[in-house]
A and B are shown apart, each in its own frame.
Chain A
Amino acid sequence: MSIEARPQAVRFGRPFRFSFAFVLFLISVAIYVCTAVVTGEVNQLSLAGLSGLFQRMVALGLVGLGQTFVILVGSIDLSVAALISVVAVLASFIMHGEPAMIAPAIVACLLVCLVAGCVNGMLVGFGRINPLIATLGTGLVMQGVLSTAFSFMPGSVAPRFEAFAYSSLFGIPYPVCLLVILAIGASRVLSSTPFGARIYSVGGNPEGARMAGIRTERVVLGAHLIASLFAGVAGLFLAARLQSGTPWVGRDGIYDLESIAVTVIGGTILAGGNGGVAGTMAGVLLFASLDASFNMLGVDAFVKQVLRGAIVIAAVAVHAVGNKEHVA
C-alpha cells in the first residue's frame, strides 16, 4: 500500500508549433510547384493537372481519415487493406454491371464494414487485445476468405457507378468533392461533438477517462466502426475507378501501412490523444505531391518505393526530435 505517486504533469518544453499541418501543406505545394517548374511540366499546375493530383489523394485520403480516428483513440487498424479489397470485390459482384444494383451493393458493402469495425472494436475495446495484432488478425481472416471465395465472385461495376469516379462538378472530380466533404465532416465530428472530445480523452488518458465516467470501450468501438466505414468508401471508390475489384487492390496500394504513415506524419501521435484530420490530409497531400513529382522526374517505380520508405522514417523522426524518452 505504498503511495508511489507524486504529482505528475506534462509540460511542453518549447512553444508548440502551431499548425504543423499548414507547414506540411506548404512543403507539399512547394515540392509540387518546384518540380513542375524545373521539369518544364507546367501543365501540371493547371486545373487538369491539379485535379489529377487530387484524384491520387482520394483513396489514401479516405482510409487516412478513418485511421486518424483510430490512432487518436490510442488504437490502430491494420485490417483496412483487406477490407478495401473485400468491398471492391463485393461491390463488383453484387452490381454485376446493373445500374439497378448500385444502391443494394453500396448498402451491403457498408454493412460488411460495420461488421468488420464491430469485430475490431470489440476485440480491442472490450477484449483488450493488442490492437496491432487484433486488426492484423481480422485483416488476415478477411484476406484469406476473400482470396478463396474470389473465384466464385466475378463481376464488374455498373457503368454509371464507374462514371462517378471519372466525372466532375465544375471541373473538380466528384471523388475529390466527396473526400473534401467527408474530411470536413470528420473534422467537425472531432472538434465539435462530445464523441469527438471523448476520443481525445480516451486516447490521451484512458484511465482518467474511465474515472471520469466515459465508457472507453464504446468510444474505441465507435472509432473502429468509423475506420472501417471509411475503408469501405475507399473500396467503393477504387471499384469504380478500376471497373471491378480484385482481392489485391488493398494490398497493392499498401493502404494499411500508408494510412498509418500519413496520419503519423501529419502529427497524430501513435500513443493517441493528439492530432487531427488537417494533419492527415496534409500528409496525404505530401505523399501525392511526392508521387506526382517522382513521375514528373521520371523516377523509376521501384526507386519510388525506396524513397517512400526513407521519407516515412524521416518525417516521423522530425516529430520525435527532442523526445528524450526511450522508444522501443
Chain B
Amino acid sequence: MTPIPHATPSRRQVFGIAAVNFGLIMFLLLYAGIAILQPNYLEAGLFMNFLRRAAPLIILAGGQLYVILTGGFDLSMGAVVTLVVLAASILVNGDPNATWPMIGVLYLMGLAVGLINGLVVAYLKVPSIVTTLGTMLLTNGVALTWSGGAARGDLPDNFRDLGRFVAHDVWLIGTLPMAVIVLIVFMVIAGWGLHGTVYGKRAIAIGDNARAADLAGIPVAATRIAAFVVSALAAVTAGILVGGFSGVSVNAGSGLALQAIAACVVGGAQLLGGRGTIWSALFGALSLFSLFTLLNLAGLPQALRDSIQGLILIAALGASAWRERRKA
C-alpha cells in the first residue's frame, strides 16, 4: 500500500525561511523599539556601537551553534571567556609586544578545552551536558587559581583596541569598530564552515541520527570533536573582545554559555540537533542583545534582564514544541 506522497513544499526550506524571518523579524521589531526610545540609535554611529557590544554574544552563538547542530551543549563557553580575560591580563601584563604571541597562546588554551570536551564526549561517551559542566568547573578553577581570584596585570592598548577601537571617517558608514570587523570575519568563516563545506552537512547528519551517519561512513568522533573545538575557539575570540572593552574581571564569562544557547534557540536552531543555520545564531543573538539593550534603555534593572531572558527562552521553545506537534 503505497501512500501517495503529498505535494507539500519542502518543509525544511519553508522552515529555514521561517526561521530566518522569525529571528530577523524579532530583531527588527526590537530594534525598532530601541529606536523609539532613543532615536539616535538609528544613526550609523550608534548602530555600529550596538554591533560592537553585541559582537561577543553573536560570536559565542555562532560557536555554540556548531555544538547544538551535532546534538550537544557547550556549557563551558563562559568559563573559557573568563579564562581568556584573566590569562590575557597575566600573560601580556601590559607589554604591547606580547599581545599577538599571547593571543596565540590563548587560542591554544581554547583548543585544549575544545579537545577535552570533544574527546570526552566522543570517546568516553559522557553526555555533553555533564562533560561541559565539568570542563566549566575545571576551567573556572584554573582561571581563578592562576589569577588568585582577582584581576591582575593590565591589558595594553593594542590588545584592548581589538575590543574597543573604532575607525572614524570611514566611507559611507562613518565609524567602523574593530570588533565589528572581527565579528564579520568570524561569522563569514563560521558560515562558510557550516554551509560552504561538507563539514557542516556532516555535523547536521550526526545531530539528526548519529548511528545512521556512522554506518554511512561519516567520521562521527572527528566531527564532534571539531564542533567543540570551534565552540571553544569562538569563546576565545569573544573573550578577547570582552577583555578589550570591559577590561579584566573574574565574572567576565558568567552566564554567557546559556545566553548563547538561548540565542540559537530563538533563532530557530533545534536543540538535540538536526536543524539550524548560521542565520539562527546571528539573528537570534541580535534579537537577544537588542532585547537587553531595550530593557536597559527602558530603565529596567540589570537583574530583571535575567528574568526576561528566561521568559524568552521558554516562549521560544514553547513555540517550537507547538510547531512540532502541529506537524505530527
Complex contact flag A–B (Cβ < 8 Å): yes
* Cβ distance A116 to chain B, nearest Cβ, rounded Å: 12
Interface residues in A80-137 by Cβ distance below 8 A to B read 123, 127-130, 132-134, 136-137
Q: Does B137 contact A306, Cβ atoms closer than 8 Å?
A: yes
A312 within 8 Å of B (CB atoms): yes
A270 within 8 Å of B (CB atoms): yes
* Cβ distance B318 to chain A, nearest Cβ, rounded Å: 5
Q: Does A261 contact B3, Cβ atoms closer than 8 Å?
A: no
Interface string of B129-165 (1 = CB under 8 A from A): 1110111111111101100010000000000000000
Q: Which of A141, A304, A310, A313 has the most CB of B within 10 A?
A: A313
A-B CB pair tally, cutoff 8 Å: 176
Q: Does B138 contact A310, Cβ atoms closer than 8 Å?
A: yes
Residues of B within 8 A of A312 (CB): 130, 133-134, 137
Q: Does A141 contact B310, Cβ atoms closer than 8 Å?
A: yes
Q: Does A328 contact B127, Cβ atoms closer than 8 Å?
A: yes
* Cβ distance B136 to chain A, nearest Cβ, rounded Å: 7
Residues of A within 8 A of B121 (CB): 327-328
A305 within 8 Å of B (CB atoms): yes
B128 within 8 Å of A (CB atoms): yes
A316-B130, A320-B126 in contact; A140/B137 too (CB < 8 A)? Answer: no
Interface string of A50-63 (1 = CB under 8 A from B): 00000000000000
- Classify the secondary structure of B's interface with A: helix
Q: Does B304 contact A129, Cβ atoms closer than 8 Å?
A: no
Interface residues in B35-57 by Cβ distance below 8 A to A read none
A23 within 8 Å of B (CB atoms): no
Q: Does B271 contact A140, Cβ atoms closer than 8 Å?
A: no
- Chain A interface: which of B4-12, B167-175, B207-215, B236-244? B207-215
Interface residues in A286-316 by Cβ distance below 8 A to B read 300-310, 312-313, 316
A136-B313, A261-B130 in contact; A304/B214 too (CB < 8 A)? Answer: no
| A253–B196 alpha-carbon span in the complex (Å) | 44
Q: Does B258 contact A328, Cβ atoms closer than 8 Å?
A: no
A14 within 8 Å of B (CB atoms): no
Please list 24 pairs of residues, one from A and one from B, whose beta carbons are closer than 8 Å in the complex, sorted by A's number. Answer: A1-B3, A133-B261, A133-B314, A134-B314, A137-B309, A138-B314, A140-B306, A144-B304, A260-B133, A261-B130, A261-B133, A270-B130, A305-B145, A306-B137, A307-B141, A308-B137, A313-B135, A320-B125, A320-B126, A323-B125, A325-B125, A327-B127, A328-B207, A328-B273
> Contacts A132-B271, A140-B258 given; 18 further ones with Cβ under 8 A?
A1-B1, A128-B321, A129-B314, A130-B271, A136-B310, A139-B310, A140-B307, A140-B313, A145-B307, A147-B306, A302-B149, A309-B141, A313-B130, A316-B131, A317-B125, A326-B211, A328-B127, A328-B273
6 closest Cβ contacts across the A-B interface? Answer: A144-B307, A140-B310, A309-B137, A147-B303, A305-B141, A306-B141
